[in-house]
Structure 1
Amino acid sequence: MSKLLRFAILIPLIFSFVAFVLTNLALFSGNQKGFLEEYAVIRVSKNLLNSQCLGTKSDSSNDDKGDESLWDKLKDKVDDLGDDAKGKINDIAGDIIGDIADELGVSDWYSLHVMNACWGGFGPNATTSHFQLNVTNCTQSAAKIRFNLTEIMDHQLSLGPFHISLESIKWPGSIQLKIAALNSALMALFVFYVLGVGFSGLSMLACIPAFLFGDKRIILMMNTALASLGAGVITLASIIATAASSIAVNAINTEGKPVTVVATKGTKFYGLTWSSTILMMLTTGFWVTKFMLIWKKEKKDRERYSKERF
């Protein structure tokens, strides 16, 4: 029975090992071009060609027909045609807009990871009907990431043949302010994930002396402390990642609506970080339970010894 209980230490060993791997993946996702790109903290995508750069009508502006843009006038003419003609013209317009998007050189999406940022386009997947993320470029990995979406997009637009600037499409400067706030949160995330990797790794290694030397008090205390520290820092990282990205996504969606900018949360990233959190909590629970059982057993032994002595 004692041997069977000793092999139970494989449970926290496995939990710590999996948490160690998941925390590393959360930390290094996107670290290299195309590596776990779908595990971004947030992703910002946009369609500038459907925004104010084309002079599309809105409910709050262009009420005066005399101020209609060329795009508005063409749109009115198309609306007067039959359904078949409208469908064909819309298909042609869609192809033209897609070609213009390629010519502009702007990316379809921009993603933020813990240590860097990437951008690229949507491409067809050969095996499924869904689109895949084609990574064009990434920033250098750094602990203190400072991703400037406004600067990158303005640079990409300036390189195109149309020489469009973000100012000409009324790009909200407040979007970058929201991303800057998220940049600060990513620095805290980096610190907590590095600590999480360290403590989960040590917790995994500390299972070895527990297996070899049995239920010694000092070994149990060491394992409990390491697992608790690992669970604590990874939990804090998960909370910060979830809260900061949710706030940033909601704010960007609100501010970016006029220019059709959409931000999405990194649900797959959430899965990594919260799975790691749960595993380290279970590891902590194992060692706390084992420590309490040993403490109660030693207490009973002391009480029995006292009764036998007196």
Structure 2
Amino acid sequence: MAVLLRFAVLIPLIFSFVAFVLTNLTLFAGSKKGFMEEYAVVRINTTMLGQNILSSDDKSSSDDDGDGDSLWDQFTDGLDDLGDAAKGKINDIAGDIIGDIADELGISDWYSLHVMNACWGGFGPNATESHFQLNTTNCTQSAPQVRFNLTSIMDHQLSLGPLHISLAKIHWPGSIQLKIDALNAALMALFVLYVLGVGFSGLAMLACIPAIVLGDKRIILMVNTGLASATAFFITLASIIATAAGSVAVNAINTEGKPVTVVATNGTKFYTITWVTSALMILSSAFWVGKFVFIWKKEKKERERYSKEGF
């Protein structure tokens, strides 16, 4: 029985190892181009950007031929030196409400926010409603102090696109960047918590080894309980912040971006992996607490028995 209890320590050892690996993955997801891109905290879809505006402007320009300052007129004027083929292509897109205008504007299909950086790119040819093939074209520098400025990036992409326009031309809400800035601050907090989670989960994993070799020493049990509990606390707190901040940001961006058909979504896979990690460390902490209580009660009974026997 004693041998079985000693090797039961393999359970929190395995949990701590898995938590160590998963926490590293949540921290470094998206840190390199294409690496775990599907594990973004929040993703912003811009494939439908401006369709409502282009459609309404196209209608208004047809109703009032004298209005040369409409957005559609500005678009078509900007196509003068692109040739009739390009004009026809944009006209076809404006007439098709489900077309992908983002590509024609020169911007990316999606922009994703990770813990340490942000990436953007396009959807692959095999993308469907249930499965999105993500082709990453570029990422920001992988560093916690780097802040994602969607407005700046999109404005730059639009200026280099075939129409050479700015975000102001498509009525881009400036409040969207304010919501992203708030999420950036939450991501900085996540970085700190996940770094602590990585450190403490590594220590919790190593601390299991003396428990296997030396047995149920009280100091060993206390150290393991403390390390596992600290890891569970930091990762659970990070999971709560990620879930809350992500949900608030997505709701706010969808509300502010509705006029220009910008859609933000939560990173379900990211939330799954961070909550699984949290659950593993909570179970690991519970194991050590339970073992500590079991040993304490066992020693208490032995002391009471000795006292009754007169020792």
Give the TM interval when normalised to the shorter protein: 0.7 to 0.9
CA contact (8 A) 1:6 1:211 kept: yes
Distance 1:112 1:252 in 2: 13
Partner of 2:32: 32
Give CA deviations for 1:27-55 in whole Å, capped at 9, x if unaligned. 00001000000000000011224142x25
Alpha-carbon offset, residue 306 of structure 1: 1.5
Alpha-carbon offset, residue 279 of structure 1: 0.2
What SS class does the counterpart of residue 206 from structure 1 fall into?
helix
CA contact (8 A) 2:44 2:263 kept: yes
Partner of 1:77: none
Give CA deviations for 1:105-151 in whole Å, capped at 9, x if unaligned. 20000000000000000012399984300001000011123100000
Partner of 1:76: none
RMSD: 2.9
Q: Which stretch shows the higher mean deviation, 163-172 or 300-309?
A: 300-309
Alpha-carbon offset, residue 95 of structure 1: 11
Give CA deviations for 1:247-294 in whole Å, capped at 9, x if unaligned. 000000000000010000011000010000000000000000000000
Alpha-carbon offset, residue 2 of structure 1: 1.3
Distance 1:195 1:155 in 2: 36
Partner of 2:166: 165
Unaligned 5+ runs, structure 2:
74-90
Letter of the aligned partner of 2:2 in structure 1?
A: S
CA contact (8 A) 2:19 2:201 kept: yes
Give CA deviations for 1:189-213 in whole Å, capped at 9, x if unaligned. 0000000011111111111000000
Partner of 1:309: 310
Partner of 2:139: 138
What SS class does the counterpart of residue 202 from structure 2 fall into?
helix
Pick closer, same or farther for the CA change 1:114–1:235 going to 2, 3 Å: same
1:4 and 2:15 are equivalent in the alignment: no
Distance 2:209 2:188 in 1: 33
Alpha-carbon offset, residue 103 of structure 1: 4.5
Partner of 1:85: none
Distance 2:168 2:19 in 1: 46
Q: Normalization by structure 1: what TM-score?
A: 0.86
Distance 1:66 1:161 in 2: 26
CA contact (8 A) 1:12 1:286 kept: yes
Alignment of 1:1-310 (within 5 A): 1-46=1-46, 47-52=48-53, 54-56=54-56, 65-66=63-64, 98=100, 101-125=102-126, 130-309=131-310
Letter of the aligned partner of 2:172 in structure 1?
A: W
Partner of 2:79: none
Unaligned 5+ runs, structure 1:
73-88
Pick closer, same or farther for the CA change 1:302–1:97 going to 2, 3 Å: closer
